[in-house]
Structure 1
Amino acid sequence: MLAAKRLAYVAAETGARFIRDRIQIEPIDWLHRPCQLFDGESAINACRHAIGFERAVALHGLGLGLDSSPAIVSGIPVAAFLSDSANSYFGASPPRIREEPSRKRHGAPALYSCIISAELDRGHIHVFGAMIARSASEVRFRIRQRFGPLLEDQAIVRLGFDWSEPLACAMVSQAMAHLLMLAAEDPTSSLAEGLDFHIEQRFAS
């Protein structure tokens, strides 16, 4: 049963990453392909076991090349890339620094914005995001859930919204900028409730 859960999780992560990074390979093809990452086995076979599962999760979590050496991911704790829910299935304890912030221990809702500009294996990505949250750490947790830990590390998080910031100016429309300014002024209004906006640009190398 645990082996099936591991394989299902890796298959889902593979599909999500291939869509996110626009990798022009069918996920099912990669799952059946022998890889040095799995000592010559395919992910379909290797990921049923703990070592193969951990290698695959770290590979996708870090956005590494699809046939990276096992040494690159050796010793990386799998819990660093799993949500609390996933950790409960696989019996791993998530690192404290990666746990979702408790809303009770932070302040009132406010508008936070974030920018990401990073190199990927196959090009460059620019991201602008804005959301209602109770702390910068909550924003970072949600960025990690959406884009993975590699891009979270590249993110710059700020309180409020500044349309003069170059990436925001280039990517955010005038109408959306006006809405974000209103949300920043009154983050508890019905207009701001549940706001979670992001826009991204990708450039092939």
Structure 2
Amino acid sequence: MMYENLRKAVRAEYEKRISKNSDRILAVDSRNGATTEALRAAAVWATKHTITQYNNGEIGVDTYVIRAEKRMRATLEKIQSAVLEKIRVAETAEKPEHILLWVDWKESRTWGKNPHVELIVGNKVYRGTATGCGYDKESAAIAEALNAYPGTLKILYDVKEAALAGDESISNENAIGYGAGYGALPYYEPGVGVNSLVAILEKCGYNARWFYSPGRSFFEIEKRRG
């Protein structure tokens, strides 16, 4: 499947982000020059060197905000290119028929038990880990592994591409389900709970079986026939 709807949606998303940030950074007050909001917005994107020069009076406010706006534009355009490349790679990938997910829980002195995930498709292995506390670490580690493999991303892209053909503003949640991420391009969202990730895969045409044992979980995910 070609992802022309996804490409269009991504380009529109980044054009909007660039335009919105540009308007904020280059906001000018007729009396006082750049507004407080503009200076705050510029500080997000300006280099440390540019900020130091501005604070020391070596460059004026016009140069300051113009440099910041230029850097913002270049940064977001670079990110957009990376996103479009991810789409290109997924276009040529094969959707998996069978996926194995192993989750091993390893002890950490700081954060207790942390999940280490291996996603196995054929002879390829993709990994994910999560540390810290206060969120669902298992689904975060599983999402990292799923997002690392173009074939599992293709599962989401196919569904979103088809949904965009009927509604070019449809969200990932409405097209795929809760946990499919935010923005134009869907992904497996970390920390949403294992049930949510499994529900996404099931909606996209897969069956999942879970096996739990102390210290280790095992998921077998297969594409439905017919």
- Fold match by TM threshold 0.5: no
- Report the TM-score, using the length of structure 1 for normalisation: 0.26
Q: Which has the larger radius of gyration?
A: 2
